[in-house]
Structure 1
Amino acid sequence: MILSNHYVPFLKWRQSEYQALFKLKKEIKDLITPYIIMPPIEYDFEEKRLKKTIQEHIEPMPKRLKDKWGARLALLDFHDSIEQGIMDNGENVIKYVYTKALAMGCKLIPVISFQKSTWYLTEIKSIISSQNCGIALRLFLEDLDKPTLNSEIDQILKMFDLNINEIDLIIDLKVPDKFEPYPLFSNLIFMKINKINNLKSYRSFIIAAHSLNLREIKQPGGLFTRHEWMLYPYFINKFKDKLPTFGDYTTDNIEFLPPMDMRKVNPSAKLIYTLPQHWYVLKAKAFRGNEIQMVSLCANVIGLPGYKGVPFSDGDKRIHDTANGNANFGNLGTWKQVAINHHMTKVVYQLSSYHASII
């Protein structure tokens, strides 16, 4: 069960993300239920084709889920470009992943939304009918404005033959146009959500959002407000009868970025460090060919008053080790992993302190 003091990070299931999750300490993992999104197949610009077949792309996924997250609970979703893929044995991708992962002992809750295809919903229905795992219903801001919202939810309940207490409700605000002023925005969202019938009866209730736009950040970076975290206490105050669980998109882009020909681009070196109310983003010169600059970026972070130290997380240790010459310069994926690992640890500690203070 996803409790109100848990944390739901939205994670693209690529190496940086699943390694960041895997390297969390046990006590942090105990308070996390990740929202995992199976990613699209990457494109090979040199060969002018997809890098893998659907079989090659999906086949390792169930074992990877087991290896990186074990028997802990996770929410599972699929990028729409792969959800209708067919494996070599004739099975749909969705059925293949669930059948294999569940047989290995993974605990997964399928995610649906109004935007999903009939194909997808039918496959999910066949899975939950034999698993008794319920579903997670993901609603977006535009869904909350539908006059037919409650009737559409009723149709979902009827299709899946479920009671409301078998559904985890996810309100995904994604990137709102404006978070501030927080009292006004939180009240607006409260009124929209409050139109949902029987809100208290859902198995769990999650509100997620994102406010870090990496594509708009120029050198040398700076401090950027964690608006979704600043908004959370207002939601706790509003939804007193059904406390919402906090969710975010960690330190990454909210969407899968379009494919890039890495022969023609050289992304900037970047290090993101989560502070109590801000992200500290350091953006430097092109990474490839100048990897040594990560030493100074890491040294900059460990000089912060808010740097938590080596014991705090695997990400913090890696920053310390690189700054002090005890680890290599890594690659772009390394520093994404570091940022996400520290961020998830930071959020869990913040939530633990916050919920302890309101009990």
Structure 2
Amino acid sequence: MNAQFRYTPILRWKRGEQQALQNLPVGDKHFARPMIEFLPGSEEEDEPGASYDKFVKQIDKSWGKESPICVELGLDEDNNPVEAVFERLRALELLGIPVTGVARDESFQRAVAAVAKADGRGALIRITPDEIAEVGFADDMSSLMKLLALDPGEVDVVVDAGFIQVTPQSNVTSQSFTMMGFLANLPHFAQWRTVTYAASAFPENLASITGEDTIPRIEWNVWKNVAARLAATREVLFGDYTAAHAIYSHVPYAGAANIRYTLDDAWLIKRGRKVTGPQYGGFGQYVKLSQSLIADPRYCGADFSWGDRYIHECANGEVGTGNMTTWRSVGTNHHIRYVLKQLASLSAP
């Protein structure tokens, strides 16, 4: 098992996110444990299970066999793909960990239990603060653990706060105390294999930004407060949705050219105009956006990550401008490397 991991990026399993993981240094993959969300395709598959074959091959190509990866299959409510997908992962010797939650039906939980027994890597339970606040939550967790036939020490818990937003009435400090209250109501808090706080303050869209702006990384500061205050009880790890909104929606519209660039406490946004509007230069806008970023003192340099290298090369005309998927890869790859560097700095003596 990858015992030294410190970070769980939650990723929708789309081409941009796959390319971001594929271009991470191998060493970084020992310190991150992604939770990837399987998004059922809308296209008709030629054969039953073909989409699962494709999904697993993508994991092999993007992540590899050296480190575990958490696989969230509960987003497809029409069927239960758990055992079919994990059978394929097992055949390729990939280190998958199944994700479940208290609201999944019994057949799903029994499938997760079967996978955990077969693979010996336990499971991940993903919980929301609203679920913790429900009357009977402790009983629900007890019933789930019986179904999974696992001890707390074999289970990772992610408390996923989803989209968070600071208002004058709910600042970082108050949100931190609220989250500590939720964690205090988590049964076996000190006994789980790991406990992770995850959230995202990234907005649903960037329509309000013209040119350049920053968006506070609220979840990072909430986590730092929570982790510091609970350190005497147990380590609380960090998770987020990288540079993306916590609630997924399929938006076919290409939108405006933009670069999402992670900084210490914020995302720097460089935003142009519609890529579908030829009068604005289409994807060619990314050359000027990249030039603006590499001239910015907050730019980390071409050697920081694959994403940073791509920005540098785009600014200098050494690579093409790509498309929206390309720039999702660039922003996600930079973000993961940046968070890992932040965590390493915090843990340094």
TM-score relative to the length of structure 1? 0.89
1:165 equivalent among 150, 153, 159: 153
Alpha-carbon distance in structure 2 between the residues aligned to 1:56 and 1:21:
23
Number of residue-to-residue matches in the alignment? 339
1:316 equivalent among 297, 308, 317: 308
Deviations 1:210-267 (A, max 9, x none): 001141542234111001111222012221121111000001232331353xxxx442
Alpha-carbon distance in structure 2 between the residues aligned to 1:178 and 1:122:
39
| 1:37 partner letter | E
Judge conservation of contact 2:196–2:237 (CA < 8 Å) in 1.
yes
Residue in structure 2 matched with residue 60 of structure 1 by the alignment: 54
Residue in structure 1 matched with residue 348 of structure 2 by the alignment: 356
- Inter-CA distance 121–221: structure 2 relative to 1 (3 Å threshold): farther
Alpha-carbon distance in structure 2 between the residues aligned to 1:130 and 1:119:
17
Residue in structure 2 matched with residue 46 of structure 1 by the alignment: none
The answer to whether the aligner puts 1:73 opposite 2:61 as a matched pair is: no
1:75-94 superposed matches below 5 A: 75-81=70-76, 84=79, 93-94=81-82
Specify the SS of the correspondent of 2:348. helix
Residue in structure 1 matched with residue 224 of structure 2 by the alignment: 233
1:110-149 superposed matches below 5 A: 110-149=98-137
2:195 equivalent among 189, 202, 205: 205
Q: CA deviation at 1:198?
A: 2.0
- Inter-CA distance 294–255: structure 2 relative to 1 (3 Å threshold): same
| 2:13 partner letter | W
2:333 equivalent among 319, 341, 351: 341
Q: CA deviation at 1:79?
A: 4.9
Residue in structure 1 matched with residue 184 of structure 2 by the alignment: 194
Alpha-carbon distance in structure 1 between the residues aligned to 2:128 and 2:69:
20
- Inter-CA distance 266–61: structure 2 relative to 1 (3 Å threshold): closer
Residue in structure 2 matched with residue 30 of structure 1 by the alignment: 30
Alpha-carbon distance in structure 2 between the residues aligned to 1:318 and 1:52:
34
Q: CA deviation at 1:58?
A: 2.2
Alpha-carbon distance in structure 1 between the residues aligned to 2:206 and 2:318:
33
Judge conservation of contact 1:5–1:351 (CA < 8 Å) in 2.
no
Residue in structure 1 matched with residue 19 of structure 2 by the alignment: 19
Query: Which protein has greater RCO, CA pairs closer than 8 Å, 6+ apart?
Result: 1
| 1:61 partner letter | F
Residue in structure 2 matched with residue 45 of structure 1 by the alignment: none
Alpha-carbon distance in structure 2 between the residues aligned to 1:128 and 1:28:
25
- Inter-CA distance 100–266: structure 2 relative to 1 (3 Å threshold): closer
| 1:276 partner letter | D
Which stretch of the first structure deviates more once superposed, 285-294 or 344-353?
Answer: 285-294
Alpha-carbon distance in structure 1 between the residues aligned to 2:254 and 2:124:
39
Residue in structure 2 matched with residue 252 of structure 1 by the alignment: 244
The answer to whether the aligner puts 1:279 opposite 2:274 as a matched pair is: no
TM-score relative to the length of structure 2? 0.91
Q: CA deviation at 1:126?
A: 2.1
Residue in structure 2 matched with residue 222 of structure 1 by the alignment: 213
Residue in structure 1 matched with residue 88 of structure 2 by the alignment: 100
Deviations 1:129-172 (A, max 9, x none): 22222111111010121221111111011111111111111100
Q: Which runs of 4+ in 1 moved over 6 A?
A: none
- Inter-CA distance 82–132: structure 2 relative to 1 (3 Å threshold): same
Deviations 1:74-114 (A, max 9, x none): 11102523661xxxxxxx53222100111211111111112
Judge conservation of contact 1:8–1:34 (CA < 8 Å) in 2.
yes
Q: CA deviation at 1:356?
A: 1.4
Judge conservation of contact 1:222–1:280 (CA < 8 Å) in 2.
yes
Alpha-carbon distance in structure 1 between the residues aligned to 2:104 and 2:78:
10
Q: CA deviation at 1:177?
A: 4.6
What is the aligned-residue RMSD (CA, Å)?
1.9
Judge conservation of contact 1:308–1:316 (CA < 8 Å) in 2.
yes
| 1:9 partner letter | P
Alpha-carbon distance in structure 1 between the residues aligned to 2:8 and 2:202:
17
Alpha-carbon distance in structure 1 between the residues aligned to 2:102 and 2:287:
46
- Inter-CA distance 197–55: structure 2 relative to 1 (3 Å threshold): closer
Give the gaps of 5 or more residues in structure 2.
Answer: none
- Inter-CA distance 208–83: structure 2 relative to 1 (3 Å threshold): farther
Which stretch of the first structure deviates more once superposed, 286-295 or 251-260?
Answer: 251-260
Judge conservation of contact 2:109–2:147 (CA < 8 Å) in 1.
no
Give the gaps of 5 or more residues in structure 1.
Answer: 43-49, 85-91
Specify the SS of the correspondent of 1:333. helix
Q: CA deviation at 1:2?
A: 5.7
